[in-house]
Structure 1
Amino acid sequence: MTHSECIAMVAKYHLARLACAKDNVPYVVPIHYAHSGIHLYAFSMPGKKLDFLRANPRACVLVEALEGKHRWKSVVLDVVFHELQNTAERDSECLKAWSLLSDDV
């Protein structure tokens, strides 16, 4: 796939698998995400996923589309986790993230 096709696929879909690791222990979990520019936004409650990402912000996201029994497309993204704290400096980005995520529901 071309770079443009990969971006289009990431923009089209909103379900992915997030892979992260902590202390050499891998963890993979499905996530709902929103895409804007070079950013992916997702919401998470406290738990294992956030613990792992806070300890090691380097992660991987897999977006895939099943086209048939033996045919699929996938895009793998190397990502760096940034937690959006609800502060005055990040307020506009937090609002943007919430807006994008609520539009996809």
Structure 2
Amino acid sequence: MQGPYASKDVIGKVVGMWFPVMAFVAIGFQHIVANMFVIPAAIFAGALSWAQFGDNFVPVFLGNAVGGAVFVGLAYHLAFFNAAARPAELSRASGAQAPE
């Protein structure tokens, strides 16, 4: 969530934090950490069983792990990999002398 960092005022920061979370929930995605509260609460209320929790836990965990490792990692790699160029390359590009 980079939205809050891009804004200068409080309203922009709130919208930058709120909108991605609201979109995630509205689309119906599952989040393993949120489910660790919601599903046991439903079990203790009698709405679900522990077997149903297990049936939900495995695919949600695998999906969150793959999504976090692959998609977020790939996005950061594409965004920042070339930004970490070696200082010698940067100095050659700018025409300055590289310190030795």
State the TM bucket, normalised to the shorter chain.
under 0.3
Q: Which has the higher contact order (CA 8 A, sep 6+)?
A: 1
Q: Give the greater-gyration-radius structure (CA).
A: 2
Larger % of helix: which? 2
TM-score computed with the length of structure 2 as normaliser: 0.26
TM-score computed with the length of structure 1 as normaliser: 0.25
Larger % of strand: which? 1
